[in-house]
Homo-oligomer: A and B are copies of this chain.
Amino acid sequence: MSEKAPWITYRPELKVLDCTVRDGGLINAHRFSDDFVRAVYDACIAAGIDYMEIGYKNSKKTFPVERFGPWRHCDEADLQRVVGDHDAEATGLKLAAMADAGKSDWQTDIVPATESPLSVIRVAFYAHQVSEAVDMMRHAAELGYETTANLMAVSNITDVEIDTVLEAVADSPASTMVIVDSFGHLYREQVDRLYRTYAAALAGTGKEVGIHAHNNLQLAFANTIEAIILGCNRVDATMFGFGRGAGNCHTELLLGFLRNPKFDVRPIIEVIQHHILPLRQEIEWGPLLPYNITGQLNQHPRAAIEWREGPTPDDFLAFYDKVVSEI
């Protein structure tokens, strides 16, 4: 890679994960049509995306099928119906599902990898759940999956908690530890600090560092670029930034930035045009001012989401006064 103008060259080992269906589904309880999921899947293959996260492997007790669509659970029958006999090698696309510590019946719901189109289980957890998370990764790894460790809400915990999690992950089968900015709070210097901490703790293990950014401060794409510059080789994005609240790093921006000629942004724009833009008629996401405020305050975007669903969604000043008065 050129040192002179690194932004026009590329690292072949950098892999993109599109989590449009998994992360975006948090807005609509994962009630997507099969056509929608298939369109995203086809676009991922056509665009040269490396991983597609197609949903959650979460519990039907916590998320009953009456209220949540199939991509909250990723039953093998649902996967089979939409992606058929998915061939990761032939398509160049690996399918992933996320399992949340504390919300997944992972002991019973994950079948051996050879019986599933999925090849990756990403384990999402809060710091205090790290022991279950490591158990989940061990279990999934024994079943033949690649696994990743996604420590959520990292902007809200202490350095010593992060260090303890990293020690546990270093000894786990995880291929990747992901910097997850759940609240969209991180600035560039904080991303740097976290990247260096993660990379130092995992040095010698062969594990990669990933990034999953949220767009509360209009920094999801920028923070993803920053992590890439530092050496991050696993990056998450969603098409048109589709995702709860402020949304995510945009897949189409990311592919436009990456110079690996295997990537093609046109299929992404096509699926945005035909499948994502229509969703905007009924669903809102993006870095609106209330999300700017919760992001800068290092708060969960919950209050902003509720405000946008309330009686005066456009009264940003009242939202600001409410939030500031409560801290």
Within 8 A of B (CB), among A304-327: 314-317, 320-321, 324
Q: Quick one: which of A215, A218, A257, A270 has the most chain B CB within 10 A? A: A218
In the assembled complex, the Cα of A252 lies from the Cα of B315 at a distance in Å of: 15
Taking beta carbons and an 8 Å cutoff, which residues of A are in contact with B?
Answer: 5-7, 187-190, 215, 217-223, 225-226, 229, 240, 250, 252-253, 256-257, 265-266, 269-270, 272-273, 277, 289, 292-293, 296, 314-317, 320-321, 324
B317 touches A273 (CB 8 A): yes
In the assembled complex, the Cα of A321 lies from the Cα of B253 at a distance in Å of: 16
Instruction: Please tell me which one of the listed residues B190, B220, B222, B269 contacts residue A320 in the complex, with CB atoms under 8 A apart.
Output: B269
Q: Point out the residues of chain B lying under 8 angstroms from A256, CB to CB.
A: 217, 292-293, 296
Chain B, residue nearest A266 (CB): B320
Chain B nearest Cβ from A267, distance in angstroms: 10
Known A188-B225, A218-B220; further 19 A-B contacts with Cβ < 8 A: A187-B257, A188-B222, A188-B226, A217-B253, A217-B257, A218-B222, A219-B221, A222-B223, A250-B292, A252-B292, A253-B296, A256-B293, A256-B296, A265-B320, A266-B320, A269-B289, A269-B320, A272-B316, A273-B316
